[in-house]
Amino acid sequence: DTGVSQDPRHKITKRGQNVTFRCDPISEHNRLYWYRQTLGQGPEFLTYFQNEAQLEKSRLLSDRFSAERPKGSFSTLEIQRTEQGDSAMYLCASSLAVTGDEKLFFGSGTQLSVL
């Protein structure tokens, strides 16, 4: 257990529905990342926050995706009007942004299935 928790672990939804995932990072970590992983592939970067500021978004992050970290602690990732291609594992990671220590600690992910 890395200390990063994600909820829910699994989500099944119908195409067109909205879904929201939550991530609680390690408490002293100021950076929080969202990645997406499909079967057989490495994690793909989506976006990251430093404290409450969203500093970078991937081109993969379509307009249907939105992420927030309102108080610089937990984060939510919402997908609107889900499509079957959104089916994937959504991983959250956190890190302590200090010089010399850049490793990310990942949660166990939320597995999304869009029917």
What are the backbone dihedrals phi and psi of residue 14, each rounded to the nearest 5 degrees, phi first?
-95, 150
Quick check: 44 binds other proteins (CB under 8 A)?
Answer: yes
Q: Which of residues 55-114 bind other proteins (CB under 8 A)?
A: 55-56, 91, 93, 102-109
Quick check: 42 binds other proteins (CB under 8 A)?
Answer: yes
CA angle 56, 62, 63 (to 5 degrees): 100
Q: Do residues 34 and 90 make contact, with C-beta atoms less than 8 angstroms apart? A: yes
Least gap, CB of 62 to other proteins (angstroms): 18
Number of residues that bind other proteins (CB under 8 A): 23
Quick check: 40 binds other proteins (CB under 8 A)?
Answer: yes
Q: Which is nearer to other proteins, 60 or 83 (CB)?
A: 60
Cβ–Cβ contacts within 10 Å for residue 92, how many?
29
Q: Which is nearer to other proteins, 71 or 103 (CB)?
A: 103
Distance CA 14, CA 20 (A): 14
Task: Pick left, alpha or beta for residue 37 (phi over 0 → left; psi -120 to 50 → alpha; otherwise beta).
Answer: beta
| Site residues (vs other proteins, CB under 8 A) | 2, 4, 33, 35, 40-45, 48, 55-56, 91, 93, 102-109
